């Protein structure tokens, strides 16, 4: 099966239901052949955007372009877009073969073409031997693959996936996301994937867009969003982050002085992208924080804060500590090795902040 690759572009897309704005001035460009995730919490507008691309929703403002051509007025069946739904939407009374063949029969393809295409699609998802079963005789993962086969068999220009893995149990979800990625690579089909699960987006997508309350927050690779979040929301949603509000009171060529609310003054080495004086949030990841006993000699390359352990969680590979520092609570993860003893609640500790790993966010 060889499919052509298209780009998709949303320009200034806005959509409201009555007085409720669900998408606000969304701008995204998805490259040909890209595996792109729309990531955001429930209600952020992800499905609305996906359904808009499929043609099931209409935006009030903006343009939607496939390969540079505005498809705003094109009805769903003429968009040549394939969509896999969360619940798979398979026909329960039809065999796997007939489910996959359905779209081709509707398009009045010849018997020969149908046999060839359905055979190839079932082969692609590894379900050839189940062709005569009904969906109820398949596992959740297999039903998912039937739904994928049924969608790619019509050779869509774009593949849209709405939370395709959320009905599967944890182990199967991990396995299916690899299968999905392999399938997408094999087909090279421009694919847009909706999920609220950051790990799912990070492990499958080439790039992702983070949405919150209908507003696009940031677009980029998983690593770019994780390392350089544009704002508090992205910092907290893609991975976990310590977020300490405060104010940059002073900056010179080498250092910046940050007055952290409820914590006190911190002097950090200046980095190029640091904002000037004014309100800011200091963001840093739990795994970049060192935790030491209070009286241990510490090296001066980090900025150290005194604190007291409130609670600890042993996760095997790491121990996660919640440490009270003034009025703030900082989460620190420590890699675990056999023989390393845990800090107990109440322990007086010192937290080392690695200055190259902090970001100052201004919104």
Query: Quick check: 242 binds ligand ADP (CB under 6 A)?
Result: no
First to last CA, the chain: 46
- Burial of 335 per CB tally in 10 Å (0-12, 13-18, 19+): exposed
Q: In the structure encoding, which two tokens stand for residue 259, read together?
A: 């007055």
Least CB distance from residue 8 to ligand ADP, whole Å?
17
238 vs 305, beta carbon nearer ligand ADP: 238
42 vs 341, beta carbon nearer ligand ADP: 42
Own/partner pairs, 63-66, CB within 8 angstroms, 24+ separation:
63/9, 63/10, 63/11, 63/12, 63/13, 64/8, 64/9, 64/10, 64/11, 64/13, 65/7, 65/8, 65/9, 65/10, 65/11, 66/6, 66/7, 66/8, 66/157, 66/158
Positions 9 through 38 that interact with ligand ADP (CB under 6 A): 17, 20, 22
208 vs 309, beta carbon nearer ligand ADP: 208
Least CB distance from residue 162 to ligand ADP, whole Å?
8
Least CB distance from residue 46 to ligand ADP, whole Å?
4
Least CB distance from residue 18 to ligand ADP, whole Å?
7
47 vs 184, beta carbon nearer ligand ADP: 47
Which string of DSSP letters, residue by residue, matches 108-158?
T--HHHHHHHHHHHHHHTT-GGGTTS-GGGS-HHHHHHHHHHHHHTT--SE
CA distance linking residue 5 with residue 187, whole number of Å = 9
46 vs 207, beta carbon nearer ligand ADP: 46
Least CB distance from residue 213 to ligand ADP, whole Å?
9
Position among 44, 217, 218, 281 found at the interface with ligand ADP (CB under 6 A): 44
Among 45-53, 88-96, 153-161, 179-187, the segment contacting ligand ADP (CB under 6 A): 45-53
Residue 220 CA, distance from chain mean position: 10
* Beta-strand pair 207-212/255-260: unpaired
CB atoms within 10 A of CB 351: 22
Least CB distance from residue 203 to ligand ADP, whole Å?
20
CA distance linking residue 333 with residue 312, whole number of Å = 10
CA distance linking residue 212 with residue 235, whole number of Å = 12
Total residues at the site for ligand ADP (CB under 6 A)?
11
Among 6-14, 40-48, 149-157, 283-291, the segment contacting ligand ADP (CB under 6 A): 40-48
Position among 45, 82, 246, 307 found at the interface with ligand ADP (CB under 6 A): 45
64 vs 330, beta carbon nearer ligand ADP: 64
Position among 2, 19, 42, 254 found at the interface with ligand ADP (CB under 6 A): 42
46 vs 145, beta carbon nearer ligand ADP: 46
Residues near ligand ADP (CB under 6 A): 17, 20, 22, 40, 42-48
């Amino acid at each position: 099966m060889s499919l052509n690759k298209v780009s998709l572009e949303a320009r200034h897309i806005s959509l409201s239901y009555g007085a409720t704005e669900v998408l606000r001035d969304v701008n995204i460009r998805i490259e040909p052949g890209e595996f792109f995730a729309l990531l955001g919490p429930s209600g952020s507008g992800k499905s609305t955007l996906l359904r808009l691309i499929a043609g099931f929703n209409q935006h009030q403002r903006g343009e939607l372009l496939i390969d540079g051509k505005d498809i705003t007025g094109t009805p769903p069946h003429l968009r040549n877009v394939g969509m896999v739904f969360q619940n798979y939407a398979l026909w329960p009374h039809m065999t796997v073969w007939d489910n996959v063949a359905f779209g081709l029969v509707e398009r009045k393809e010849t018997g020969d073409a149908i046999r060839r295409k359905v055979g190839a699609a079932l082969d692609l998802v590894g379900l050839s031997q189940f062709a005569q079963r009904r969906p109820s005789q398949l596992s959740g993962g297999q039903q998912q693959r039937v739904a994928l086969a049924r969608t790619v068999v019509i050779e869509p220009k774009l593949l849209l996936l709405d939370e395709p893995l959320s009905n599967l149990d944890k182990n199967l979800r991990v396995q299916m996301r690899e299968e999905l990625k392999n399938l997408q690579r094999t087909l090279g089909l421009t694919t847009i994937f909706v999920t609220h699960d950051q790990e799912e987006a990070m492990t499958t997508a080439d790039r992702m867009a983070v949405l919150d309350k209908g507003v696009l927050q940031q677009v980029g690779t998983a690593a770019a969003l994780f390392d350089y979040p544009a704002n508090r929301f992205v910092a907290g949603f893609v991975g976990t982050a310590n977020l300490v509000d405060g104010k940059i009171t002073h900056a010179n060529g080498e250092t910046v002085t940050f007055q952290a609310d409820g914590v006190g003054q911190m002097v950090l080495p200046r980095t190029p992208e640091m904002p000037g004086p004014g309100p800011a949030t200091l963001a840093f990841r739990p795994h970049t924080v060192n935790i030491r006993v209070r009286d241990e000699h510490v090296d001066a390359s980090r900025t150290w804060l005194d604190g007291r352990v409130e609670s600890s969680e042993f996760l095997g590979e790491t121990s996660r500590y919640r440490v009270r520092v003034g009025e703030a609570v900082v989460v620190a993860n420590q890699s675990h090795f056999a023989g390393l003893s845990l800090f107990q609640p109440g322990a007086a500790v010192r937290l080392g902040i690695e200055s190259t790993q902090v970001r100052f966010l201004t919104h």
